[in-house]
Amino acid sequence: MSATSGGIADAVAHAHVIVVTGAGGVGKTTTAAAIGLAAARAGRRTLVLTIDPARRLAQALGLEALGDTPTRLALDVGPAGGTGRVAGELWAMMLDMQTTFDRLVERHASGPEAAAAITSNRIYRTLSSTLSGTQEYMAMERLHELHEEGGWDLLVVDTPPTRSALDFLDAPRRMTTFLEGRLLSLLLRPGLAAGRGIGRVVGAGATAFMRVAGKVTGMELLEDLAEFFRGFEGMYDGFKRRAEQVLALLSRPESRFVVVTSPEPLPLREARFLLDRLEQEGLHAAGVVVNRIRPELPRDPSDAALERAVAALAPAGRPAGAEPDAAGDADGHAAEDAAVAGALRLLGDVRRVAARQRRDVAAALPARQGRAVVEVPLLGGDVHDLEGLGAIARRLTGGA
């Protein structure tokens, strides 16, 4: 049995980790929350680690004031008195990047003082929140912590709104490459090690960055920088091992990836790349969610019949849907006909869009054995409460 054969419903029921990924704005956070809800309703103790819930979703989840600690959500698990079903639990938390990074430093520093020297360092405080890939890496790091703490049946991880959905796969490696300091520490260390101080490095005009940094805030900044790299020097190995552990956790068959996309060509292409990449990395895809797709409308009446009806109702010269002016309103029927023609035309448009979206999906994601593609329709209004999430959850798991 291939690792992907179970699909999303199987992942909701059996996986230990579900990573929800995809292009920006396609519905990752919403999908992660819906998956969490589905799993909790299926009786599992579930934690959703979210990154950037839309305000109203955060409100609905009670996440507004939340930070780094899991909070249990009030979850309607059925009528009082029960149906004999085991009640699951839904917990949620928002990633606090800085706190996670600080803990990582504390874990790997040689002692509390060394850790404090780094975490209070200004370079660290700036870099740790702005470095590209940091958020992705910290999400994975936090996931690993929660996994080690134990007690969770399922950990659902939302991924950050990255430039590219592929970024988070590279993040652990990129992170360690940076921390190994290939670039900067090589420039700094020789001078420091020889006790010649950073002045020499500046004098040598080591890099444009150094020169700019030196100009902008002077020696203080450079001292911070030196201290930053001194502090990290002993921790590269720990970080590297940690990144390897995170990748190992993600590679387990109990860890599954759900790729979310909208039915537009660009996100679809990104979904395709992502699936290929997961496969290359030996990671397990549970399936693809095509979110906000137009529902398929009945093919009756046929397109031709629809066009005939529109033409009959709104003869040329009187555009359908145009507001009849007050003077010409004597004929109430004509106005009504135009409105009906407009509605029928809209129906034709929606049907065409729905068909095009399905063609695009089929072209971008050709059927492959074991790859589940689940459609989630565009719902009216935002998805910001348990009811809306429940509707998506049922779609995802194939429930009624």
292 belongs to the binding site for ligand ADP (CB under 6 A) = yes
Two tokens, residue 320:
């359908």
**Quick one: what does residue 70 bind among ligand ADP, Mg ion, none, with the CB cut-off 5 to 8 Å set by partner type?**
none
In the complex, the smallest distance separating the C-beta of residue 159 from ligand ADP, rounded to whole angstroms, is 8
Options 48-56, 76-84, 141-149, 358-366: segment touching Mg ion (CB under 5 A): 48-56
24 belongs to the binding site for ligand ADP (CB under 6 A) = yes
Beta bridge partners of 19: 157, 257
Q: What are phi and psi of 330, to 5 degrees?
A: -55, -40
Closer CB to Mg ion, 17 or 383, in the complex = 383
Residue found under tokens 């955060």: 58
Residue found under tokens 């009786």: 43
262 belongs to the binding site for Mg ion (CB under 5 A) = no
In the complex, the smallest distance separating the C-beta of residue 284 from Mg ion, rounded to whole angstroms, is 22
In the complex, the smallest distance separating the C-beta of residue 292 from ligand ADP, rounded to whole angstroms, is 5
Which residues ranging from 150 to 189 are in contact with ligand ADP (CB under 6 A)?
161
**Residue of minimal CB distance from Mg ion?**
29
**Quick one: what does residue 221 bind among ligand ADP, Mg ion, none, with the CB cut-off 5 to 8 Å set by partner type?**
none
Instruction: Write the secondary structure of 104-127 as one string of H (helix), E (strand) and C (coil).
Output: HHHHHCCCHHHHHHHHCCHHHHHH
Environment class of residue 293 by beta-carbon count within 10 Å: exposed (0-12), middle (13-18) or buried (19+)? Answer: buried
d(CA 61, CA 385): 7
| Neighbour tally for 213: CB within 10 Å | 17
Residue found under tokens 């520490």: 185
135 belongs to the binding site for Mg ion (CB under 5 A) = no
Which residues ranging from 32 to 61 are in contact with ligand ADP (CB under 6 A)?
54
From residue 16 to residue 45, the character string flagging contacts with Mg ion as x (rule: CB under 5 A) and all else as - is ------------xx----------------
Beta bridge partners of 288: 259, 373
262 belongs to the binding site for ligand ADP (CB under 6 A) = no
296 belongs to the binding site for ligand ADP (CB under 6 A) = no
d(CA 348, CA 314): 15
**Which residues form the interface with Mg ion (CB under 5 A)?**
28-29, 52
